[in-house]
């Protein structure tokens, strides 16, 4: 055990952030703290490291253990350079190194017993120096800085000259080279590009110490943690597995909890009616029975109704009409700004019903492609052809067409007068506008809030081709999942740009990667893209020549490769269809089991031995059928 948190409670004024939190972190364990905005994730980290006092409870670290904490915002006041700031993170190693050099110098001037004693001390210190990683410390400092997006030219920049985002990256670099027993990271990837995020993922996967992470990047959590602590309802709920496993378990937990709640409520209601009936007899014996039942009822630990997203918030996207098969054809598209070429000879097609993600490095021109398609920018050359019957709904975060004097509620109702008040409120709530916030004026909204209301309007537009630029920005995890569900069940066509890899993984049927040499296509989601993508390492240790050779290999796409991808996609779709069929059959059998179990609890059944035998046989048969179905389901994914 590296950390023990017991009965931790924290409030700000009248607002309770969390109450009676208890959990332990074991050595080498990688844990995510998850939950919606405002649930107290960052506050919990601050309380653990002592930056915020707890109202009650305790935080205990293992004896002689070390921890390192990365806050969301950094303001390092350091007079030296970036490199110096990170290099001096381990003064203990630097002091050992200085002492070893001093000993080496002394060896030249002493002899006899003094030399023997000095050699013995030197050997012991050298061993300690190696244990602390002193021999590789210099390369770790440079490698960590490069991994987190700094070039060697950046190393000599003074800390006073760098931006807030760069300071966070430097602080993260300094923290990682200290190699503490426990890392506590609050939104560590906020200022990292995709390559740096992937580098950090690999670093954490191989990190031998314990890690606690707060992050909104669900794909990052999927790759780096093996346990999730969910801060819901001011409590800590513990789940084994990565983020995806946590979500499945949480759904099951909520469903089970809801059933337990409903079952208990029925029992309580039944008991109340029995008590009321006994009291109505108004006899001594019946009143005593009623009192006895009341005492039992008072001792029941009432299950709280689980809080979950209202199922009415599940957005249903329905195009008003269907488009032709050919939705979009882009041919030899080129664009420059102020003499700088952004796009050159870009070509691709999109067919009806596809969900296509356009990805690529920052600044490569992804948003420019979307703007050209929507006639916001003219292309320098090439063509964009929109298919027959295509109606476009475009989201670009630069919101136009609002009535600034409208409230959010009026804006939505004015755009869609057929929606009733409940539906309007549910759609707004799905995009984080709840309670009295629906009466905020458009003119008073922040940029992020304007983006969310634009997305809410677009989701109900009836367009059959949605073009979205970073649609998950400014959304919390619940809202992202609502949007994912809506897109996955949308009958139209979608083209979007997103840096949210989990969102891409959940929604994309095809990926277009925009590179300097054009478009590279992958028939699958983000996991499939990673599997097929050639890794181009830019870490030091690989020569420029090798990196260029790797780049050439990665860029060499052939017709055979594309054909192979299509065959693999067809095989994968066949497996998915078979898995879905089995899952539906499992659900049906489980429902039959539930009905039998309900009949078992019926007193009339309990008195009918023949019926009990019949139900027992049915239950046994269902269990055998379910075992085979589960085996078949595992077989589909195990092939």
Average pLDDT on 83-106 reads 91
Least confident span in 318-332, 333-347, 518-532, 546-560: 546-560
309 pLDDT above the threshold of 80: no
Bridge-partner residues for 515, per DSSP? 518
Distance of alpha carbon 343 from alpha carbon 515, whole angstroms: 9
380 pLDDT above the threshold of 90: yes
pLDDT at res. 75? 67
Q: Could you tell me if residue 50 is left (phi over 0), alpha (psi between -120 and 50 degrees) or otherwise beta? A: left
Binned at pLDDT 50, 70 and 90, residue 308 comes out as low
Higher pLDDT, 568 or 238: 238
* List of residues 6+ apart from 494 with CB closer than 8 A: 354, 355, 356, 465, 466, 467, 468, 487, 507
Distance of alpha carbon 238 from alpha carbon 90, whole angstroms: 35
Looking from the CA of 583 toward its CB, the CA atoms found within 13 Å total 8
Distance of alpha carbon 521 from alpha carbon 349, whole angstroms: 11
Distance (Å) of CA 378 to CA 327, 328, 370, 384: 20, 17, 11, 10
Q: Which of 28, 27, 5, 8 is nearest to 17 (CA)?
A: 8
Q: Does 3.40.50.720 match the CATH number of domain 326-399+462-557? A: no
pLDDT at res. 325? 94
Distance of alpha carbon 472 from alpha carbon 469, whole angstroms: 9
Give 81's DSSP letter.
Answer: B
Q: Which of 518, 490, 220, 532 is nearest to 356 (CA)?
A: 490
Handedness of CA 18, 23, 24, 29 (dihedral sign): negative
Element (H, E) at 406: none
Q: Could you tell me if residue 363 is left (phi over 0), alpha (psi between -120 and 50 degrees) or otherwise beta? A: left
Measured CA angle at 443 (ends 442, 449), to 5 deg: 55
pLDDT at res. 161? 84
Please give the span between the terminal C-alpha atoms of the chain, in angstroms, as a whole number: 39
Report residue 8: phi and psi, to 5°. Answer: -80, 130
Under 8 Å between Cβ of 223 and 199: no
pLDDT digits (tens, 9 = 90+) for 546-592: 444 533 444 444 455 556 666 776 777 777 778 778 777 877 887 88
pLDDT at res. 74? 67
Most confident of 455-459, 486-490, 510-514, 631-635: 510-514
Binned at pLDDT 50, 70 and 90, residue 597 comes out as confident
* List of residues 6+ apart from 81 with CB closer than 8 A: 155, 156, 157, 158, 159
pLDDT at res. 554? 41
Distance of alpha carbon 350 from alpha carbon 221, whole angstroms: 31
Average pLDDT on 237-266 reads 86
522 pLDDT above the threshold of 90: yes
pLDDT at res. 508? 96
Higher pLDDT, 555 or 428: 428
Distance (Å) of CA 10 to CA 15, 43, 479, 589: 9, 8, 26, 46
Distance of alpha carbon 544 from alpha carbon 9, whole angstroms: 54
66 pLDDT above the threshold of 50: yes
* List of residues 6+ apart from 37 with CB closer than 8 A: 432, 476
CA dihedral 56, 62, 65, 69 (to 10 degrees): -30
Residue showing tokens 């109202």: 55
Higher pLDDT, 217 or 278: 217
pLDDT at res. 307? 63
Under 8 Å between Cβ of 250 and 239: yes
Distance of alpha carbon 513 from alpha carbon 529, whole angstroms: 9
pLDDT at res. 400? 59
474 pLDDT above the threshold of 90: no
Least confident span in 86-90, 361-365, 527-531: 361-365
Residue showing tokens 């092939």: 639
498 pLDDT above the threshold of 70: yes
Report residue 550: phi and psi, to 5°. Answer: -65, -40
pLDDT at res. 173? 93
Q: What does the domain layout of the chain look like in residue ranges?
A: 43-246, 251-308, 326-399+462-557, 574-638
Give 311's DSSP letter.
Answer: G
Binned at pLDDT 50, 70 and 90, residue 494 comes out as very high
Distance of alpha carbon 224 from alpha carbon 211, whole angstroms: 9
Q: Could you tell me if residue 28 is left (phi over 0), alpha (psi between -120 and 50 degrees) or otherwise beta? A: left
State the chain's mean pLDDT as an integer: 84
Average pLDDT on 222-251 reads 90
Least confident span in 1-15, 70-84, 145-159: 70-84
Residue showing tokens 């860029």: 555
pLDDT at res. 540? 35
Average pLDDT on 292-304 reads 86
Say yes or no: do domains 43-246 and 326-399+462-557 share a fold: yes
pLDDT at res. 557? 45
633 pLDDT above the threshold of 80: no
Bridge-partner residues for 532, per DSSP? none
190 pLDDT above the threshold of 70: yes
pLDDT digits (tens, 9 = 90+) for 354-377: 999 999 887 889 999 999 999 998
Least confident span in 52-56, 64-68, 289-293: 289-293
Distance of alpha carbon 619 from alpha carbon 598, whole angstroms: 12
22, two tokens: 């208890």
Least confident span in 80-94, 253-267, 360-374, 536-550: 536-550
Under 8 Å between Cβ of 283 and 312: no
pLDDT at res. 559? 52
pLDDT digits (tens, 9 = 90+) for 268-293: 888 888 888 778 777 777 788 888 88
Neighbours of 371 (CB within 10 A): 20
* List of residues 6+ apart from 67 with CB closer than 8 A: 3, 49, 61, 180, 181, 182, 183, 184
pLDDT at res. 415? 83
Average pLDDT on 72-76 reads 71
Binned at pLDDT 50, 70 and 90, residue 211 comes out as very high
CATH superfamily of 43-246: P-loop containing nucleotide triphosphate hydrolases (3.40.50.300)
311 pLDDT above the threshold of 80: no
Residue showing tokens 């607002």: 15
Least confident span in 173-182, 227-236, 566-575: 566-575
Strand 235-240, strand 67-70: pairing: unpaired
pLDDT at res. 234? 83
Give 407's DSSP letter.
Answer: B
pLDDT at res. 545? 46
Distance of alpha carbon 357 from alpha carbon 555, whole angstroms: 19
């Amino acid at each position: 055990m590296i950390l023990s948190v017991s009965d931790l409670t924290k409030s700000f004024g009248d607002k309770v952030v969390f109450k009676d939190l208890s959990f332990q972190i074991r050595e080498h364990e990688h844990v995510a703290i998850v939950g919606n905005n405002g649930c107290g994730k960052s506050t919990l980290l601050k309380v653990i490291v002592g930056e915020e006092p707890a109202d009650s409870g305790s935080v205990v670290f293992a004896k002689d253990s070390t921890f390192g904490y990365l806050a969301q915002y950094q303001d390092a006041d350091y007079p030296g350079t970036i490199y110096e700031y990170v290099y001096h993170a381990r003064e203990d190693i630097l002091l050992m190194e200085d002492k070893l050099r001093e000993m080496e110098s002394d060896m030249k001037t002493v002899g006899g017993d003094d030399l023997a004693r000095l050699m013995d001390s030197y050997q012991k210190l050298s061993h300690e120096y190696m244990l602390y990683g002193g021999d590789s410390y210099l390369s770790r400092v440079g490698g960590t800085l490069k991994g987190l997006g700094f070039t060697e030219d950046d190393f000599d920049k003074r800390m006073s000259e760098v931006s807030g985002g760069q300071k966070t990256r430097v602080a993260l670099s300094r923290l990682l080279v200290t190699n503490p027993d426990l890392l506590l990271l609050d939104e560590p990837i906020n200022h990292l590009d995709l390559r740096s995020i992937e580098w950090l993922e690999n670093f954490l996967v191989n990190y031998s110490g314990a890690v606690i992470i707060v992050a909104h990047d669900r794909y990052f959590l999927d790759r780096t943690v093996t346990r999730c602590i969910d801060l819901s309802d001011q409590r800590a709920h513990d789940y084994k597995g990565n983020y995806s496993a946590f979500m499945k378990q949480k759904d099951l937990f909520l469903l089970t909890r809801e059933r337990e709640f409903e079952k208990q409520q029925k029992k309580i209601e039944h008991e109340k009616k029995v008590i009321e009936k006994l009291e109505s007899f108004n006899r001594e014996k019946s009143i005593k029975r009623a009192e006895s039942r009341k005492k039992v009822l008072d001792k029941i630990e009432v299950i709280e109704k689980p809080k979950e997203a209202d199922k009415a918030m599940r957005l249903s996207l329905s195009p008003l009409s269907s488009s032709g098969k050919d939705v979009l054809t882009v041919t030899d598209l080129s664009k420059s700004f102020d003499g700088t070429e952004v796009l050159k000879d870009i070509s691709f097609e999109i067919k009806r019903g596809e969900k296509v993600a356009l990805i690529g490095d920052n600044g490569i021109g992804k948003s420019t492609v979307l703007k050209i398609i929507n006639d916001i920018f003219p292309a320098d050359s090439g063509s964009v052809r929109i298919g027959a019957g295509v109606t476009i709904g475009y989201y670009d975060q630069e919101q136009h067409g609002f009535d600034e004097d409208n409230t959010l509620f009026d804006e939505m109702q004015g755009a869609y007068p057929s929606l009733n008040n409940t539906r309007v409120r549910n759609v707004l709530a799905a995009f984080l506008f709840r309670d009295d916030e629906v009466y905020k004026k458009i003119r008073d909204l922040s940029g992020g809030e304007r983006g969310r209301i634009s997305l809410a309007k677009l989701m109900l537009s009836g367009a059959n081709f949605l073009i979205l630029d970073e649609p998950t920005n400014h959304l919390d995890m619940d809202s992202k999942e609502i949007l994912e569900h809506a897109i996955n069940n949308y009958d139209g066509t979608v083209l979007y740009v997103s840096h949210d890899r989990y969102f891409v993984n959940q929604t994309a049927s095809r990926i277009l990667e925009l590179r300097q040499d054009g478009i590279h296509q992958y028939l699958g989601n983000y996991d499939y893209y990673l599997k097929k993508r050639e890794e181009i390492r830019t870490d030091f240790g690989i020569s420029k020549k090798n990196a260029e050779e790797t780049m050439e290999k990665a860029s060499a796409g052939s017709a055979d490769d594309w054909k192979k991808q299509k065959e693999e996609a067809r095989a994968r779709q066949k497996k998915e269809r078979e898995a879905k069929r089995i899952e539906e059959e499992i659900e049906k059998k489980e429902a039959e089991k539930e009905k039998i179990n309900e009949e078992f609890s019926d007193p009339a059944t309990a008195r009918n031995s023949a019926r009990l035998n019949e139900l027992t046989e049915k239950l046994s048969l269902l269990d055998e059928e379910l075992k085979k179905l589960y085996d078949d389901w595992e077989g589909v994914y195990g092939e």
